[in-house]
Each structure stands twice: as C-alpha cells, then as structure tokens.
Amino acid sequence: MDNFFAFGFGISTLSEKGLELDCYFPKPITDVDSTTEGVLDELPIGAHEISAETAKLFGRNAKSLHIPSFRPESNKKFVYVKLTEDVEIRSTPEAYLKLHLMSHRLRVPNSLNLDGLFNHLPNVCWTSNGPIATDEIGDALEESRINGKHLEIFSVDKFPKMVNYVVPSGVRIADSSRIRLGAYLGDGTTVMHEGFINFNAGAMGPNMVEGRISQGVTLGSGSDLGGSASTMGTLSGGGNIVISIGENCLIGANAGTGIPLGDRCTIEAGLYITANSPVTVLDKNRATVKVVKARNLAGKSDLLFIRDGQSGAITCRTNQNAIELNAELHDLN
C-alpha cells in the first residue's frame, strides 16, 4: 500500500449523552502485508463505527488484523481508524490510536503529528468502573451508594494510565498511575514509585527512572534518572526546545536539565541546569577555560556538571566515568 500510516480496530466507551470518552486498540498496526492491503483499501479513511460482524468478515481475509472480541453494550461501540498519512488529529479514536502507537512501541516520542490532541481528548473521571463523563459522575456516585457499592475515582484528567490499555514487555512499574497512555517504555526499563513518564515521552530502555520524564523528553539507553530528578518538557518552561538525554547518563537525585544532553553525561545531585545557567568550563587540570550559557553545551557528550564547593558556581569538565545501571535492579527473572 503506497499510502498507509496506521490502522486499528478499537472499542470506544460512550457517555450517556453519546460522547466518546476513550478508545481501546489491543493490537494496532503500522505495516501491512499484501492480503491486508487489499482489505484495507476498501475502508474509508479516518475513524468510523463498524459492526463486529463486518469486522470479522474483514478479519477472515486479512489474518494480520486483530479483531477484538466484542459484546454489544449500551455504552460501547466498535470502531476502526485508518490513517494513510500522519495528519492532524480529527477525532477521539484517532487521538487514542496515536497514543497507543507510542505505548505499543510502534512509534517513538516526537515522531507523530499530535496537533489537535487536546481538543479531542475529553476530560474524564477515571474510576473503578471505567471512564465516566465529568457531568455524569454525580449520578454515578449516588447510584453506587444506593446499590451498596463504592465507586473509586482515581483521577479526573484527559489521559488515562497506560497499563489499563497497554502493558509493554520487559518492564517494571512500581506505581502504574504515574505512567500516562502515550508513554514509551523500552525493554528493561524500571520505573520506581516516584518516577513519572508523560505522554509523548519515554525511556528507550533499559533505564532506571526515579524522577520525572516530561512531555517530549526521551531518556537514552542505560541512563539513570535519580530520585525526584526532573526534565523540562515542551509543555512548560522548555518552550519549543526538545530535551533529550543520551545514553549512559546520570541525573542525580533532585537534579534536572532544561538542555539536551549527549552520551555519558552526569549532573550532580541537587543541581538544575537551565538554558541560561552560567557554566564555568574547566580543562583537565581544573583551570577555567571560559564561562558560557548552558545552552552552548547542549547535546555534547562526556560532560560532568557539578557545583564549585566554595563559590557554588556551576562548573563543567570532562566526565571520566560513564555510569552503568545496576544489573540486579533490571533482572526481571
């Protein structure tokens, strides 16, 4: 197929007023074989409702398509999304498909057109009984109490937690509520209790994540994000600067960065580097070479950022020791 970007059969949850609250895609695809190509050619582009019976007919002729088992319910509908190119998001199912693509490791962060995402993600009450519209949650709480049940509300947000939709292989997640759908977790990644990974962000694996990976930020293989460490995302102070951390880096506890880092870089605990931070560059003899803005060091490898013990000034010199992750912490057996 000359024009093909992504496809998936999904199940949408509807509010009592018919608003689509979410959409679950068990096995989306980004590649097609010859038989699947012919079947998908018959389907219109975009998001469309389809009966389970019709979907099964397509599945018989295209073995690579996964057709979820679907029981008709009043608050559910069966849909498909067919995208021939990576265009602006036009519907809630399209938004959910793109988030699924990243969490299924079919696309990496910052590789998708996410324009229109927030406009097509309704704010939802995520509960022990699934997603409920915010303007209907009062009635749902009252009904649950009348029936002697407890309805727990986990969050009120546009994004659900990832593991309710996708559980990547080879990962450890201490607190699933801190990983949003649309996060990318590479094989061998461990996220501890205070670790957080936003949508369109990721740890390429293997990684140890005890801090925050903000929207648009990626953590390279073998890198460690220490306890309460932070990375500046493009939704806040980072503006349009895409922050990436290279391979085998260490961001110490309570530290952070607002500039991209190359490979084998270390930022000492408690030190937050922003683009405008003045940094004293030292040679191998610890003599001052020059003072620059941190942005001038963006993307460079083998850097060690520490504070001068007397003046407190930020200094940078060659990192002599590339860090290695503790292998025992990443043993999933």
SS3 135: helix
Whether residue 106 contacts residue 41, with contact meaning beta carbons closer than 8 Å, is answered with no
> Regarding the domain delimited by 6-119, which CATH topology (the fold level of the hierarchy) does it fall under?
Alpha-Beta Plaits (3.30.70)
Task: Give the Cα separation of 121 and 77 in Å (integer).
Answer: 17
For residue 36, give Cα distances in angstroms to 70, 167, 220: 21, 26, 35
- Yes or no: domain 125-157 corresponds to CATH 3.30.60: yes
Question: Which residue shows structure tokens 């306890």?
Answer: 227
Whole-model pTM: value is 0.92
Cis peptide before 93 (omega within 30 of 0): no
Q: What is the pLDDT of residue 73?
A: 80
Q: Is 272 helix (H, G, I), strand (E, B) or coil?
A: strand
Residue 162, Cα to own-chain centre: how many angstroms?
Answer: 8
Domain extent listing, the chain: 6-119, 125-157, 162-325
Taken in order 165, 214, 219, 101, the sign of the CA dihedral is: positive
CA atoms in the 13 A half-sphere facing the CB of 188: 16
Q: What is the pLDDT along the chain (333 residues), one digit of tens a residue?
A: 567 999 999 999 999 999 999 999 999 999 988 778 888 888 999 999 999 888 888 777 777 788 888 777 889 999 999 999 999 999 999 999 999 999 999 999 999 999 999 999 999 999 999 999 999 999 999 999 999 999 999 999 999 999 999 999 999 999 999 999 999 999 999 999 999 999 999 999 999 999 999 999 999 999 999 999 999 976 555 456 789 999 999 999 999 999 999 999 999 999 999 999 999 999 888 889 999 999 999 999 999 999 998 899 999 998 766 545 545 434 444
The residue length of the chain stands at 333
Amino acid sitting at position 202: G
The predicted pLDDT at position 328 comes to 45
Annotation: CATH topology of 162-325: UDP N-Acetylglucosamine Acyltransferase; domain 1 (2.160.10)
Instruction: Please identify which residue in the block is written with the tokens 């599945």.
Output: 59
Active site residues: 210
Which residues does 11 contact at the CB level (< 8 Å), separation at least 6? 23, 24, 68, 70, 76, 77, 78, 79
Q: What is the pLDDT of residue 332?
A: 43
Cα–Cα–Cα angle for 115, 105, 179, rounded to 5 degrees: 75
